[in-house]
Amino acid sequence: MSLNKDKIAGLLLVILGIGAYLEGRSHSLGTLTQMGSGYFPVALGVVLVLIGLLLFVTSSPDGQDKPAVPPAATDLNDPPHLSLDHCPPTDWRGVSCIIGSVISFIWVGHLFGLIPATWICVFMAAMGDRTSTYREAAILSLLMCALAVGLFHTVLHVQFPLIQFPFWKA
Amino acid sequence: MVMTALNDLWHGFGVAFEPHNLMWCFIGVLFGNFVGVLPGLGPMAAISVLLPLTFSMKPVAAILMLSGIYYGAQYGGAICSILLNLPVHPPHAVTCLDGYPMTLKGRGGAALGITMIASFIGASFGITEMIFFAPVLVGFAFKFGPSDICSLMLLGLLAGSTLARSSPLKGIAMTVLGLLFGIAGTDINTAEQRFTFGILHMADGIEIVALALGIFGIAEFLKCVNYIKPIAPKNMHVSMRDMLPSREELKTAFPAMWRGTLVGSLCALIPGTGPTIASFVAYALEKKITRTPERFGHGAVEGVASPEASTHSSVQGDFIPTMSLGIPGDAVMALILGALIIQGITPGPQLVREHPDLFWGLIASFWIGNILLIILNVPLIGIWVKLLTIPYRYLYPSAIFFICIGVYSTTNDLFGVGETLVIGLFGYVLLMLGFHPAPMLLGFVLGPRFEENFRRAMLISDGDLRVFIERPISATFLAIAVTLLGAQLYLWIKNRRLKLIS
């Protein structure tokens, strides 16, 4: 028995369900008349475990359900590049750049303020695409910095220091 | 009855024409049209990005704008399907089948023209349906007790999760997960902290903006990055004159539009069947009743007109259960409901009476918005088509920045941004495992209210679960839910057997 997509999905649900059950048990359960705060999470956890088991047992033989949306008429010269129901294999460069970009927004934003955070966030995200160049990414991130100052800071008054130097204060 | 509705509508137009509201409605439809055109961005991402903006706005303006994004995106979505054969916007995927062949035959402009007419007819009918049907539903809904509301929510949740794409089991799992996400934070009854893992920030629960942007923003970008290729600008010269359909095309398209409109408005009344299903049903119907089914797939005009009309009438009709009962039919409606809750408005049947400005203003704004969209789309079609060529590599980095700053602005705290990232990664894992996380939002928004009503129902009935089948209204809803599940199960087993045989 190989571990296909549906089986992993089922296992994940079982784990999440057990987690919800345990978390729910740490609160008072109460009775059906006087439901405690643990009652609902425990119930949902049990449901989740059941669904997970059902999914695990019934997982379709080819490992994946057929897409419910029929593929559109394909033109041989120009095949559609992304279907709605199928998740393509992970593109590691793109994925790590996007994750890095959000993390750096948090980290740089916390230390140095909005402008550097915006710049690094957009630049890093843009470099996730294999076709972008450093120049393009730099220009795009500068544009976004201008937008951050012009729209979010000036017009919408988002409370975020524009730029700061935490290590100079001391 | 009819007179009061028209009178209220008149009042609604007064609200919608206030310069402030008119401006936000216009911004909403413009932005909606924009993201609708772009492949790789959908109305859900767009609404979640703009959701933080609405926190400081008045409720009416906020809802007008968010709704405008939703129906505005439907106008733009067809362009991509017809000219490029890219089914990136689910409700318009079926339009590819006959829209793209029309483009290949050089009638792409006409297909767009027909789409616009069909959209307007469909939308108009959907709005009319809402004007007359919603008040009736509201009157009925006032008789609901907590147990009835519970069963209705259960029906809504089941319909929303099983009628969507992918397997019903996975859909239900997503809804349950959403319910769990929804009750995280401080319990309103006991003030106990649930699922906070000792993190202080989590005491307020998960931010709806973080959840929506995580699963519709970050997770989608993680999935699509480097897979959306730049679009080659061919077949893409459409001017206003090209959009004029010929007389024969109009003659075949008109009856199809009306059939599509009817299909869409019926689908809108069944909870959970959104515009995507409506468009597929409409296309199947056209194919069934035509005398020349062989034309379909080779540029049949009906194959464009009917699904488009159906999509639009169902999009407008989707607002009926959301605004009159407080039960959203799909994830987009859940987001709009979430926006209402953030504005401090309790969704439910009392909304029409307590906030007539909002309800009737919204309906009036639908008319205005749809007319604005026609004005935006017909003369400016060339510009929209040009926008299609904006490469994804500019789009998603900008969108990620908007997500970061948007989430930050809701709480003025970077914790929310991290929360979004974590949810986004989780959403990506779910996508990889073949889940469609959209129903999660449905569960998330209804979670606390479901628990609250269940608790209340149990308190009244003294812990007797039979109350759900003893009350006729509740029993009816449960019966529908069971039928729905049974039908799904039957179809699923049938499909599986077919698959095993082949």
pLDDT tens sequence across B38-58 = 876 778 888 888 888 888 888
Quick one: A108 and A54 in the same domain? Answer: no
B296: contact with A, CB 8 A cutoff: no
Nearest-Cα residue of chain A relative to residue B403:
A102
Nearest-Cα residue of chain B relative to residue A97:
B222
Judged by CB atoms closer than 8 Å, whether chains meet at B397 and A91 is answered as no
State which amino acid sits at residue B81: S
| Minimum mean pLDDT range among A75-79, A129-133, B141-145, B419-423 | A75-79
Tell whether the model's pLDDT for residue B284 goes beyond 70: yes
Using an 8 Å CB-CB cutoff, list chain A residues near B465.
Answer: 32
pLDDT (0 to 100) of residue A63: 44
**Do the bridges between strand B193-194 and strand B185-186 make them parallel or antiparallel, or are there none, so unpaired?**
antiparallel
CA–CA separation, A10 vs B183, rounded Å?
Answer: 23
Tell whether the model's pLDDT for residue A60 goes beyond 80: no
Ramachandran quadrant class, B194 (left: phi over 0; alpha: psi -120 to 50; beta: rest): beta
CA–CA separation, B54 vs B21, rounded Å?
Answer: 12
Judged by CB atoms closer than 8 Å, whether chains meet at A131 and B194 is answered as no
Quick one: A54 and A103 in the same domain? Answer: no
Provide the pLDDT confidence category of residue A67 given band limits of 50, 70 and 90. Answer: very low
Tell whether the model's pLDDT for residue A74 goes beyond 70: no
Using an 8 Å CB-CB cutoff, list chain A residues near B229.
Answer: 81
pLDDT (0 to 100) of residue B288: 85
pLDDT (0 to 100) of residue A65: 44
Let me know if residue A134 belongs to a domain. yes
pLDDT tens sequence across B206-224 = 888 899 999 888 998 898 8
Provide the pLDDT confidence category of residue B502 given band limits of 50, 70 and 90. Answer: low
Q: Quick one: what percent of chain A has pLDDT higher than 70?
A: 81
Quick one: A103 and A150 in the same domain? Answer: yes
Q: Per the structure, how many domains does chain A have?
A: 2
Using an 8 Å CB-CB cutoff, list chain B residues near A97.
Answer: 225
**Residue that the structure tokens 């998330």 belong to:** B444
Provide the pLDDT confidence category of residue A84 given band limits of 50, 70 and 90. Answer: low
Which of B50, B104, B180 to substitute to test the interface with A, most A CBs within 10 Å? B180
**B188 to chain A nearest CA, in Å?**
9
**A168 to chain B nearest CA, in Å?**
22
Provide the pLDDT confidence category of residue B234 given band limits of 50, 70 and 90. Answer: low
Spatial CA neighbour of B378 closest among B110, B143, B170: B110
pLDDT (0 to 100) of residue A85: 57
Tell whether the model's pLDDT for residue A77 goes beyond 50: no
Q: What is the DSSP letter of B389?
A: T
Quick one: A140 and A98 in the same domain? Answer: yes
Using an 8 Å CB-CB cutoff, list chain B residues near A78.
Answer: 85, 232
pLDDT (0 to 100) of residue B57: 87
Contact predicate B240/B381, CB 8 Å: yes
Provide the pLDDT confidence category of residue B3 given band limits of 50, 70 and 90. Answer: confident
Tell whether the model's pLDDT for residue B162 goes beyond 80: no
pLDDT (0 to 100) of residue B425: 95
pLDDT (0 to 100) of residue A68: 41
For range B387-393, the mean pLDDT: 82
* Residue A111, number of CB atoms within 10 A of its CB: 13
| B 337-366 → A contacts, CB under 8 A | none
**ipTM above 0.90 for this complex:** no
From the list A9, A23, A32, the residue facing B463 with the nearest CB is A32
Let me know if residue A146 belongs to a domain. yes
CA–CA separation, A59 vs B468, rounded Å?
Answer: 33
Judged by CB atoms closer than 8 Å, whether chains meet at A131 and B183 is answered as no
β-sheet bridge partners, residue A75: A78
From the list B166, B228, B408, the residue facing A68 with the nearest CB is B166
Let me know if residue A67 belongs to a domain. no
For range B366-372, the mean pLDDT: 92
From the list A31, A44, A101, the residue facing B180 with the nearest CB is A44
> What angle, 0 to 180 degrees and rounded to 10, lies between the N-to-C axes of helices A39-58 and B438-460?
130
pLDDT (0 to 100) of residue A107: 93
For range A6-11, the mean pLDDT: 88
Tell whether the model's pLDDT for residue A104 goes beyond 60: yes
For range B100-125, the mean pLDDT: 89
Mean pLDDT of chain A: 81
For range B269-292, the mean pLDDT: 82
Nearest-Cα residue of chain B relative to residue A23:
B195
Let me know if residue A164 belongs to a domain. no
pLDDT (0 to 100) of residue B78: 86
Let me know if residue A168 belongs to a domain. no
B87: contact with A, CB 8 A cutoff: yes
Tell whether the model's pLDDT for residue B249 goes beyond 90: no
Quick one: A151 and A103 in the same domain? Answer: yes
Domain span at A37: 5-58
Quick one: A97 and A147 in the same domain? Answer: yes
pLDDT tens sequence across A29-57 = 888 888 888 888 999 999 999 999 988 88
Task: Count residue pairs from A and B with Cβ separation < 8 A.
Answer: 242
Quick one: A51 and A102 in the same domain? Answer: no
Using an 8 Å CB-CB cutoff, list chain A residues near B408.
Answer: 109, 158, 160
Q: Per the structure, how many domains does chain B have?
A: 1
Provide the pLDDT confidence category of residue B1 given band limits of 50, 70 and 90. Answer: low
Judged by CB atoms closer than 8 Å, whether chains meet at A51 and B421 is answered as no
For range B331-345, the mean pLDDT: 88
Contact predicate B264/B309, CB 8 Å: yes
Which of A34, A58, A82 is the last residue before a domain boundary?
A58
Tell whether the model's pLDDT for residue A28 goes beyond 90: no
| B 452-481 → A contacts, CB under 8 A | 454-455, 458-459, 462-463, 465
| Minimum mean pLDDT range among A36-50, A59-73, A78-92, B345-359 | A59-73
Mean pLDDT of chain B: 86
pLDDT (0 to 100) of residue B400: 92
pLDDT (0 to 100) of residue A164: 84
Let me know if residue A86 belongs to a domain. no
Let me know if residue A66 belongs to a domain. no
Let me know if residue A18 belongs to a domain. yes
Judged by CB atoms closer than 8 Å, whether chains meet at A67 and B165 is answered as yes
Judged by CB atoms closer than 8 Å, whether chains meet at A33 and B421 is answered as no
Using an 8 Å CB-CB cutoff, list chain A residues near B419.
Answer: none
Quick one: A148 and A96 in the same domain? Answer: yes
Distances (CA, A) of B317 to B15, B115, B282, B312, B323: 21, 18, 15, 8, 10
Judged by CB atoms closer than 8 Å, whether chains meet at B173 and A13 is answered as yes
Nearest-Cα residue of chain B relative to residue A103:
B418
| B 202-221 → A contacts, CB under 8 A | 218, 221
Domain span at B257: 2-501
Contact predicate B499/A60, CB 8 Å: yes
- Phi, psi angles (nearest 5°) of residue A75: -100, 125
Which of B54, B57, B215, B226 to substitute to test the interface with A, most A CBs within 10 Å? B226
Nearest-Cα residue of chain B relative to residue A94:
B225
**A6 to chain B nearest CA, in Å?**
7
pLDDT tens sequence across B54-85 = 888 889 999 999 999 999 988 888 888 888 88
Judged by CB atoms closer than 8 Å, whether chains meet at A125 and B53 is answered as no
**A54 to chain B nearest CA, in Å?**
8
Using an 8 Å CB-CB cutoff, list chain B residues near A160.
Answer: 405, 408, 412
Contact predicate B381/B243, CB 8 Å: yes
Which of B405, B432, B450 to substitute to test the interface with A, most A CBs within 10 Å? B405
Tell whether the model's pLDDT for residue B395 goes beyond 70: yes
